[in-house]
Amino acid sequence: MQDLPNLFLIGPMGAGKSTIGRLLAAELCRDFYDSDHEIQARCGADIPWIFDVEGEAGFREREAQAIDDLTRRSGIVMATGGGAVIREVNRRALRERGTVIYLYTTVEQQLRRTAKDRNRPLLQAEDPGRVLRDLFAARDPLYRATADLIVRTDRRGPKAVASEIVRRVTKLVDPLQSCKA
Ligand SMILES: Nc1ncnc2c1ncn2[C@@H]1O[C@H](COP(=O)(O)OP(=O)(O)O)[C@@H](O)[C@H]1O
Ligand SMILES: O=C(O)C1=C[C@@H](OP(=O)(O)O)[C@@H](O)[C@H](O)C1
Ligand SMILES: [Mg+2]
């Protein structure tokens, strides 16, 4: 497992990037980073505050800086925020500096998983289902274009998904490993 590249998780809000990323890193004995946590730690404020005071544009600047810095590390697992793929510079950093995994789930699951969480400013809207559908239409092509692997998270719990990623990524890196003793 030492030869594994950086693993970067992308996908929409509620896909499980933060939860599964942490489990994946533990399973691989890797350091775990979450670009959203990094942004909040550097700024000393939470995401709703950043959106309030600096707008989404300010948040995206901070996000690009965090992604550029974190993707330069080696041997890490990193969860991104759902909007990380909007910027071409982020997509390039992710693609060039690691293996990118798109965690896919349905909008219905996203809605259920994010319903009680007030920490996602984009979903504090009258119709969060509509927001999620519109974001999916805009971003799904970008997730697909950036990813090396697509893994569904709507049918299995976080632990099972983390194990599936380990299995698939190991094969991707060393296609012969499944033939080894
Ligand atoms: N595969 C899964 N099955 C069921 N619930 C999940 C799964 N992945 C994540 N969750 C739950 O969904 C919520 C949002 O997960 P989170 O990791 O914050 O998603 P993201 O970082 O992609 O927005 C959390 O309550 C988490 O426990
Ligand atoms: O989709 C988005 O634009 C966002 C997703 C959030 O992260 P999660 O995908 O981890 O919820 C967070 O970065 C911010 O609220 C914006
Ligand atoms: Mg997250």
Q: Output the CA 108–ligand 3 centroid distance in Å.
A: 17
Strands 76-79 and 7-10: parallel
Q: Note whether residue 178 is domain-resident.
A: no
> Which tokens is 80 given?
């991104």
**Is 39 inside a domain boundary?**
yes
What domain range includes position 16? 7-172
Q: Give 10-50 pLDDT, tens digit per residue.
A: 999 999 999 999 999 999 999 999 999 999 999 999 999 99
Please, which pLDDT band fits residue 7 given cuts at 50, 70 and 90? very high
Residue whose CA is closest, atom 12 of ligand 2?
81
Determine the average pLDDT of the residues in 116-145. 97
Tell me: is residue 133 an annotated ligand-binding position: no
CB 102 within 8 A of CB 16: no
Give the pLDDT band (50/70/90) at residue 181: very low
Nearest partner of 13 among 127, 97, 114, 96, judged by Cα: 114
Number of structural domains in the chain:
1
CATH number at residue 152: 3.40.50.300
| Residue 181 located in a structural domain | no
| CB-count burial class (<10 Å; 0-12, 13-18, 19+) for 14 | buried
91 domain residue, yes or no = yes
**pLDDT exceeding 70 applies to what percent of the chain?**
95
| 177: in domain | no
43 falls within a domain:
yes
Strand partners of residue 152 = 104
Is residue 83 in some structural domain?
Answer: yes
118 assigned to some structural domain: yes
